Amino acid sequence: TFEELLKIIDELKVEKVLIGIPINSQGEITKIGEKFKKFANKFSDYLKGIGKEIEIEFIDESYSTLEAK
């Protein structure tokens, strides 16, 4: 839940949240990437609603699983 995420953010004194967005070989955001962006927008709205300002940044995480292996 957003409340649980906020608790972790507060405990760790997080100033920026990075969200990996998978991008396909044509440079387009994948369907799951769109879901991540939707989640991030809702979380951002939640934060604004409670008066918190935490930067949310998207990063390209394409092929990160392959690179980790």
Q: Write the pLDDT tens digit of every residue in 12-40.
A: 999 999 999 999 889 999 999 999 999 99
Instruction: Give CA–CA dist 54/47, Å, rounded.
Output: 8
* Contact between residue 36 and residue 19 where contact means Cβ atoms under 8 Å apart: yes
What was the pLDDT predicted at 34?
Answer: 95
What was the pLDDT predicted at 51?
Answer: 94
Instruction: Give CA–CA dist 29/26, Å, rounded.
Output: 9
Give the CA diameter of the chain: 40
What was the pLDDT predicted at 32?
Answer: 93
What was the pLDDT predicted at 61?
Answer: 86
* Contact between residue 45 and residue 52 where contact means Cβ atoms under 8 Å apart: no
**H/E element, 59:** strand 55-60
pTM over 0.85: no
What was the pLDDT predicted at 65?
Answer: 59
